[in-house]
Structure 1
Amino acid sequence: MGRSHMSARMRVRMYKVFLLCLLGFCVISFLHYYKALQNIPLLQELSSTSSHLKTLKLVSGFFWNVPDTEFLSHHNNHKHDYLKGFLEAKVILPDDTFQNGDLHERTFILHDDSTPFFIQTKSGAMCFQKGTKMSDTASQRSILQQQHHQHDSINEGKKGVKCACRQGWHGPHCGIPTIVQHSDLSTKSKLMPRKVPRRVINAININHEFDLLHARFHELADVVDVFFVCESNFTAYGDPRPLYFRQLILNGTFDYIKHKILYIFLDHFPNGGRSDGWITDDYLRTYLTKNGMSRIQGLKADDVFIIDDADEIPARDGILFLKLYDGWTEPVGIHMRKSLYGFYWRQFGTLNVLSGCTAAMLLMVYKGDGILLRRRSYYTMSGFREYENFTGRILVPWAIGSPVHYAGWHCSWCFKPEGIYYKLISAQNGDFPRWGDYKEKQNLSYIQELIRTGGWFDGTVPDYPPTDPKEHMYAPKYLLDNYEKYGYLLKNAYTKEKG
Structure 2
Amino acid sequence: MFTGLKDYKIYCHSCMAFYLLLNAPPISYTTSEPERHQEYRASVTFVSSKPHSSSTDDIKPYINKRKYKLAQGKTKDYFTLVNGTLCFTQGTDIPYMQRFNARRQSNRCECHQGWHGIDCGQPEVIWRAFMASREKLTLQRRDRPRKIIHGLAVNFEVTLAEIILNELSQVVDLFIVCESNYTENGDSKPLYFYNRLMGGHLKEIQHKILYISMNFKQVRGNVNYIEMREYLWKESKPLIEDLSPDDLYVSMAVDEIPNSKALLFFKLYDGWPEPIAFRLRWSVFGFFWQHPQRTAIVPGGCTIQMLEGVYGDNPFKMTEDARGYQEVGSELPNHYLVIGDLNHYGGWYCNWCLEPRDIVAALQQSSTTANSVIKWDNVGSKIDVPYVEDLIGSGLWLDGTTQLLRKSQSRDSYFAPEYVLNNSWTYDSLLVNFYSKLDY
Alignment pair present for 1:397 and 2:397: no
Aligned to 2:174: 226
Alignment pair present for 1:364 and 2:309: yes
Shift of 1:291: 1.7
Kindly indicate whether the alpha-carbon contact (under 8 Å) linking 1:185 and 1:328 is maintained by their aligned counterparts in 2: no
Shift of 1:496: 2.3
Structure 2, gaps ≥5 residues long? 1-41, 46-56, 100-105, 324-333
Aligned to 1:485: 426
Identity of aligned residues (%): 34
Paired AA for residue 338 in structure 2: A
Aligned to 1:78: none
Paired AA for residue 488 in structure 1: S
Aligned to 1:25: none
Alignment pair present for 1:294 and 2:238: yes
Partner secondary structure for residue 198 of structure 1? coil
Kindly indicate whether the alpha-carbon contact (under 8 Å) linking 1:198 and 1:302 is maintained by their aligned counterparts in 2: yes
In the alignment, the residues of structure 1 paired with residue 109 and residue 96 of structure 2 have an alpha-carbon distance, to the nearest angstrom, of 14
Paired AA for residue 405 in structure 2: P
Alignment pair present for 1:245 and 2:172: no
Kindly indicate whether the alpha-carbon contact (under 8 Å) linking 2:395 and 2:406 is maintained by their aligned counterparts in 1: no
Aligned to 1:409: 348
Aligned to 1:456: 397
Kindly indicate whether the alpha-carbon contact (under 8 Å) linking 1:181 and 1:188 is maintained by their aligned counterparts in 2: no
Aligned to 1:467: 407
Change (3 A) 1:485 1:292: same
In the alignment, the residues of structure 1 paired with residue 370 and residue 78 of structure 2 have an alpha-carbon distance, to the nearest angstrom, of 43
Tell me which of 203, 206, 210 is aligned to 1:255. Answer: 203
Partner secondary structure for residue 286 of structure 1? helix
Kindly indicate whether the alpha-carbon contact (under 8 Å) linking 1:302 and 1:359 is maintained by their aligned counterparts in 2: yes
Paired AA for residue 112 in structure 2: R
In the alignment, the residues of structure 1 paired with residue 432 and residue 182 of structure 2 have an alpha-carbon distance, to the nearest angstrom, of 32
Change (3 A) 1:272 1:169: closer
Query: Which structure shows the higher helix fraction?
Result: 1
Kindly indicate whether the alpha-carbon contact (under 8 Å) linking 1:188 and 1:328 is maintained by their aligned counterparts in 2: no
Kindly indicate whether the alpha-carbon contact (under 8 Å) linking 1:450 and 1:456 is maintained by their aligned counterparts in 2: yes
Q: Report the TM-score, using the length of structure 2 for normalisation.
A: 0.76
Alignment pair present for 1:120 and 2:81: yes
Shift of 1:129: 0.3
Change (3 A) 1:174 1:426: same
* More divergent stretch after superposition (106-115 vs 404-413): 106-115
Tell me which of 144, 153, 158 is aligned to 1:196. Answer: 144
Partner secondary structure for residue 174 of structure 1? coil
Deviations 1:219-241 (A, max 9, x none): 11110000010011111221111
Change (3 A) 1:428 1:288: farther
Shift of 1:138: 8.3
In the alignment, the residues of structure 1 paired with residue 431 and residue 415 of structure 2 have an alpha-carbon distance, to the nearest angstrom, of 9
Tell me which of 161, 171, 178 is aligned to 2:117. Answer: 171
Q: Report the TM-score, using the length of structure 1 for normalisation.
A: 0.67
Paired AA for residue 112 in structure 1: Q
Kindly indicate whether the alpha-carbon contact (under 8 Å) linking 2:111 and 2:120 is maintained by their aligned counterparts in 1: yes
| Cα RMSD after superposing both structures | 2.9
Change (3 A) 1:105 1:374: farther
Deviations 1:70-113 (A, max 9, x none): xxxxxxxxxxxxxxxxxxxx8499xxxx9956447754212312
In the alignment, the residues of structure 2 paired with residue 361 and residue 497 of structure 1 have an alpha-carbon distance, to the nearest angstrom, of 49
Change (3 A) 1:293 1:108: same
In the alignment, the residues of structure 2 paired with residue 138 and residue 164 of structure 1 have an alpha-carbon distance, to the nearest angstrom, of 10
Paired AA for residue 309 in structure 1: A
Count of matched residue pairs: 365
Aligned to 2:298: 353
